[in-house]
Structure 1
Amino acid sequence: MDPSVLAASFLPILLLELPDKTFVATLVLATRFRPLTAWVGVGLAFAVQCAVAVTAGGLLARLPDRPVAAVAAALFAIGAVTLFRGAAKAAAAEEEALAEYQRKVRGGASGLRAVGASFGVVFLAEWGDLSQLFTAGLAARFDDPLSVFAGAWAALLVVSGLAAAAGAAIVRKVSVATVSRVGGVVCALLAVVTLLEALGVDLPV
């Protein structure tokens, strides 16, 4: 496992998901079920989604290098635009996501049933989400599926763990708009670097 690839996968996904509905979904689940139970279900859902994304990225990596780099750059650019646009309406988007998940999540379950309910809500709601596409792009760019999987899943576990443990307090103290802008900068840098690679520009290591 390559620590640099792991870190390069962890940070962007962390910044993508902190202001995203993943955080809100886990926060809602943790208020309906036991926080640890909700986190386990959410974490399992993300493990499956990361595995699928990394597999797709690995298949993409088998194609010629420059087209793969171009596709990865496009995914990173989409991530940057999404985050910058989301920063401008962060508060409204957060309230909308909170209301959406409160309608979806039903309380009353416990144990394995709560784990299954948490898994199902997040798995279905987050399928095809930007972070999953982003993970596929990372897997294609680095051609190191194990490190990308570990970094992306760790980031998602951290975000969902923060939401389950202290989500309400974090929402009050952390500016979602600022996190979105920082994530947008990171995604934009990745897009530029990957695009330069696609164009055959030699970058210093």
Structure 2
Amino acid sequence: MIWSVVLAAFVLVLPVELPDKTLFASLVLATRFPPLPVFVGVGTAFGLQVAIAVTAGSLLSLLPEALVTGVVALLFLVGAILLWRSASAGPEDGGEAAETREQTSFLRAAAISFGVLFAAEWGDLSQLATAGLAARYDAPVSVFVGSWAALLVVSGLAVFLGRKLADRLPIALIRRVAAGLFLVFAVVAVVETVRALTA
């Protein structure tokens, strides 16, 4: 386990997911079902999504170094642009919240939560970030732990703190900070690409 890589993944993924549909989808699910099965379902979905992203990034790292760093730079640059452009938009809508929690079994609530989040996360910025980090660092377990921990923190906040959190988040600021982080990673990857090409 490389703790600096765990920290890099955590710090990069956390601000990306705070204003994301993940938070609001988890929030809405927690208004319909008890918090614990929602958290279990969402956390399991995130674990699988992160494993897929890390695997994709690790496979990418088998290509020549200049190509890998170029693709990583492009992934982070696209992420930075998308985050910056979305900063002025409102929070992503998670749908209408139910007024009362549905009475359903733990397993059913967890399965519904898993399905909703697993479908919602495909092609998400956190997946791009995770794949990019896995391609950049030769530490797939560390990237997995850092990314998954960030996603669990976001879903935990949404499920257990609920509406109070959604009303107080400075969405535009969080998105701009995340865009800045993505841009820094893009610049580092561009520098590495130039070094690889000139070596």
Partner of 2:195: 200
Match of 2:186 among 176, 188, 191: 191
Q: Can you list the C-alpha shifts for 1:137-196, whole angstroms capped at 9, x where unaligned?
A: 110011210000000000000000000111311122221111111111111111101111
Q: Can you list the C-alpha shifts for 1:20-66, whole angstroms capped at 9, x where unaligned?
A: 10000100111111111101100000000100111111111111111
Partner of 2:161: 166
1:179 equivalent in alignment to 2:140: no
Normalised to the residue count of structure 1, the TM-score between the two structures is 0.90
Which residue identity is paired with 1:8? A
Q: Can you list the C-alpha shifts for 1:90-138, whole angstroms capped at 9, x where unaligned?
A: x2x43xx222x759xx944321111111000110121222211221111
How many residue pairs align between the two structures? 194
Which residue identity is paired with 1:49? Q
Which residue identity is paired with 1:32? R
Q: Can you list the C-alpha shifts for 1:63-96, whole angstroms capped at 9, x where unaligned?
A: 111110110111111111111111111x2x43xx
Q: Which runs of 5+ in 2 are unaligned?
A: none
Partner of 2:106: 111
What SS class does the counterpart of residue 112 from structure 1 fall into?
helix
Paired residues of 2:31 and 2:97 also in contact (CA < 8 A)? no
What SS class does the counterpart of residue 94 from structure 2 fall into?
helix
Output the CA distance in 1 between the equivalents of 2:5 and 2:131.
Answer: 13
Which residue identity is paired with 1:154? A
Partner of 2:83: 83
Output the CA distance in 1 between the equivalents of 2:106 and 2:162.
Answer: 21
Partner of 1:150: 145
Q: What percent of counterpart residues are identical?
A: 52
Which residue identity is paired with 1:37? P
Partner of 1:15: 15
Output the CA distance in 2 between the equivalents of 1:24 and 1:173.
Answer: 13
Which residue identity is paired with 1:2? I
Paired residues of 1:70 and 1:194 also in contact (CA < 8 A)? yes
Partner of 2:32: 32
Give the structure with the higher percent helix. Answer: 1
Which residue identity is paired with 2:108? R
Which residue identity is paired with 2:144? F
Output the CA distance in 1 between the equivalents of 2:51 and 2:176.
Answer: 28
1:98 equivalent in alignment to 2:94: yes
Which residue identity is paired with 2:54? V
Which residue identity is paired with 2:94? L
